[in-house]
Structure formats: C-alpha cells, structure tokens
Amino acid sequence: MRIELTGVFVHDQTEALAFYTDVLGFQKRHDIPLGQDRWLTVVSPDDSDGSELLLEPSHHPAVKPYRDALMADGIPLAQFAVDDVEAVHERLTEAGVTFTTPPTDVGDAWIAVFDDSCGNLIQIISVKP
C-alpha cells in the first residue's frame, strides 16, 4: 500500500495553482476540466511520478467549518518535508508568505507553519539526522 493522492481544499483553484507552483515550487501534473472546477494536481519536482497533491475546490458545506476550526486552532492541514526549514522559511518569507510558526526546534526535527493563502495552514518539517 502507498499514498498516491492526497488533497487540500482551496477557495480558488487558479490562485492555488499559482501559489503551489510559482511560490512553493511544485509542478502541475494534471489539469482536467470538470464542469466549473478542475481535477488539478501538483507534484514535487524531485519526484514527478510520486504522490500527487489535489488542489480541491472547497464548495462542500462541511469544508468551511472544518477549515475554520483548524485555522482558529493553528492546526496545519498538511505537512511537507524539506531539507532545511530555516532556508525554506527565509525564501518563502521573501516571497511574501506569512508564517504563523517560525522555524522551531522540536527535538528530532525542525518545523515551521505558514498560511498557504488558499485557506489552509501548511507545516514544513526537516527531520534531524
């Protein structure tokens, strides 16, 4: 068993695609029209055949209270691995990304949490050797 697809809910797929590709550096994998929405996925440039992240429309009525509760409690919806949290924090801050948690040593890893501008908090992590 392996993880092939996971998703984040986004309020605007076009804005989300720009953020996840232009700012975070992911690559678009699929962009298939589905009525007013799209089957829109991105992948890591380091593993273009790996797990996909679905930028999923947030129209369902359950999504807003769920995301609002996570955001209010500061809980990230997703976590992405990076080689160096401090370097990524610096690069993203320079690109205008807002961090809710700066780089923080949590023992076996470094973490930081940012607002993806699409309605979600995202945690980045680098595990210590």
pLDDT digits 0-9 by tens, 34-52: 999 999 999 999 999 999 9
Stretches where the chain sits below pLDDT 70 are none
So what's the pLDDT on residue 66?
A: 97
Question: Could you tell me which residues come within 8 angstroms of residue 122 by beta carbon, excluding any fewer than 6 positions away?
Answer: 8, 76, 77, 78, 79, 80, 113, 114, 115, 116
Nearest to 10 by CA among 78, 92, 84: 78
| Domains (range + CATH), the chain | 5-127 (3.10.180.10)
So what's the pLDDT on residue 39?
A: 98
Please say whether the beta carbons of 3 and 51 come within 8 A: yes
So what's the pLDDT on residue 5?
A: 97
So what's the pLDDT on residue 22?
A: 98
So what's the pLDDT on residue 74?
A: 96
Edge-to-edge strands, sheet with 78-81: 78-81, 121-127, 109-115, 98-105
